Amino acid sequence: MKKAAETLSLYKKLYQKVALRNKDLSRINIFTTNNDLFNEKALDNLNINYNNGFGGGLERVFNPARFNYTFSKKIDANLEKFEPLENMVYLYKLHGSISWIEKEGNSLFNIQEVPIEGGTRKQNKEHVLIYPTPLKQNQSLGSPYSDLIREFQTKLAQPNSVLFIIGL
């Protein structure tokens, strides 16, 4: 439990540095191979808006087109004037997440984000994760991972992109 609190604290420090900055700068794109929920928990704790490709209400479903959305707020009640939300983070989970399951018939990609009790979820056949197995390469070629990798390539090709690699 103490280790989890320390890890969450590190994530929060990272997001305080990168997300809470000048609103005129481009949005932050975070690409991670971690399938845990530390990113989401840190962003929630800091009240930072994020887009992880899921939309909906009770049944949050994946749609990579959401990464092209600009979230904005109305700045004049009488006019149709909007400005982009400050401190917006776009979160891409390249290997999936412990909160993703496969569910037929709920969207084009059949992937749903579900709440996790206690921060963990037992591995089962519904999970949409890339596990470190010999099948890893084949799994990464399918949806939604091919869409996420394509977004990664697109963002890296944009001017002023920065890539940080943390870990081994």
Whole-model pTM: value is 0.80
Q: How many distinct structural domains can be found in the chain?
A: 1
Q: Torsion angle of alpha carbons 11, 70, 26, 47, nearest 10°?
A: -30
Q: Does 64 score more than 80 pLDDT?
A: yes
Q: Torsion angle of alpha carbons 90, 91, 95, 100, nearest 10°?
A: -110
Please check whether residue 162 lies inside any domain of the structure. no
Please check whether residue 168 lies inside any domain of the structure. no
Mean pLDDT of the chain: 80
Please check whether residue 164 lies inside any domain of the structure. no
Please check whether residue 117 lies inside any domain of the structure. yes
Q: Roughly how many angstroms between the first and final C-alpha of the chain, as a whole number?
A: 24
Please check whether residue 48 lies inside any domain of the structure. yes
Q: Rounded mean pLDDT of 76-93? A: 83
Least confident of 27-36, 59-68, 89-98, 133-142: 133-142
Please check whether residue 148 lies inside any domain of the structure. yes
Whole domain around residue 26: which residue ranges?
2-157
Instruction: Give the pLDDT confidence score for residue 126 in this predicted structure.
Output: 62
Q: What is the DSSP string of 90-143?
A: EEEETTEEEEEEE-TTSSSS-EEE---GGG-----TTEEE--SSTTHHHHHTST
Q: Does 42 score more than 90 pLDDT?
A: yes
Q: How many CB atoms lie within 10 A of CB 99?
A: 22
Q: How do residues 113-152 score in pLDDT, each as one tens digit?
A: 888 765 454 555 566 555 555 555 555 566 677 788 888 8
Q: Does 159 score more than 90 pLDDT?
A: no
Least confident of 31-35, 41-45, 50-54: 31-35
Give the up-direction half-sphere exposure of residue 44: CA atoms within 13 A in the CB hemisphere: 7
> pLDDT-based confidence at 40, cuts 50/70/90?
very high
Which of 26, 27, 68 is closest to 49 using CA atoms? 27
Q: Rounded mean pLDDT of 73-83? A: 79
